[in-house]
Amino acid sequence: MNYHNVSFLASYGLSKQLPPSKQMEVAFAGRSNVGKSSLINKLLGRKALARVSAVPGKTATINFYDLDGRIHLVDLPGYGYAKVAKSEKWRWAELIEGYLNDEGRDLALVVLLVDMRHPATRLDVDMVNYLIETEKPFLVVLTKADKLNKTERQMRLAAIADELPCGDELTVLPFSSETGEGVETLRGILEELSEPEDDEDPA
C-alpha cells in the first residue's frame, strides 16, 4: 500500500450529513487530546495531514481521508473534554453515535486510542463495552508509550488488562508518534484488511 498516496476527503459536523460508505473504513476513536491526529499523521508519514492542536477538543467534526484508493480512514471527534458547552458535547456524541450506529457503513475496524500514561477513563470503558456489545471489530492502541520507562510500561500494560472490560482478551498495541513504535504493526493490520478476499476454491 502506498502511504504517500493519501488525501483529505471531507469533514462533517452532523451525522445526517454523512455520505454512504464508498470504501472500506477504519475509524479512529478516543478521548480528546489522546493523540489521534498525531497517530494518523505518523501512520501516513505526513506532518500535518490531520491537524494537531495543543487545545483538547479541537477535532469537532468527522474527518475522512482516502488511503491509496483502498481504505478510508475516519477520524472521529475526541470525547470527554469538559471545557465545551453541553450543546457541543451533545453534538459530538450524536456525531460519534450516528457514525458507529449506522449499520450500512463498511466499517472494518475501530482503532480505540487510550493514553498509556493514565488509567482508562469511564468513557474509555463505556466505548469498549459498546464495541463489544455491538460486535464491532476493534483494537486498543496505547498512545504516548515513549513517555514511560520499561518498568512503568509493564505496570500500565498489566493495569490496562484490569481497567478495560475483557482486558486480558483485547488486542493492545503500544504506540508512539515520537519514536514510531507501533507504526509498522498498525500498517500491517491495514494491509491485511485491504487485501481482497480470495473466494476461489483451492484446486
Domains along the chain with CATH numbers: 6-194 (3.40.50.300)
Determine the average pLDDT of the residues in 6-31.
93
Joined together, the cell numbers standing for residue 60 give 469537532
Query: Looking at residues 116-144, what average pLDDT do you find?
Result: 95
**Amino acid in the structure at residue 42:** K
Query: Does residue 108 have a pLDDT over 90?
Result: yes
Give the Å distances, CA to CA, from 44 to 5, 38, 49, 154.
9, 10, 8, 28
For the stretch 40-85, pLDDT in tens is 999 998 876 766 544 444 557 899 999 999 999 999 988 865 555 5
Cite the beta strand spans of 95-164 per DSSP E.
107-115, 138-143
Give the pLDDT confidence score for residue 84 in this predicted structure: 56
Work out the end-to-end distance of the chain between its first and last CA atoms, rounded to an integer number of angstroms.
Answer: 29
Higher pLDDT, 32 or 6: 6
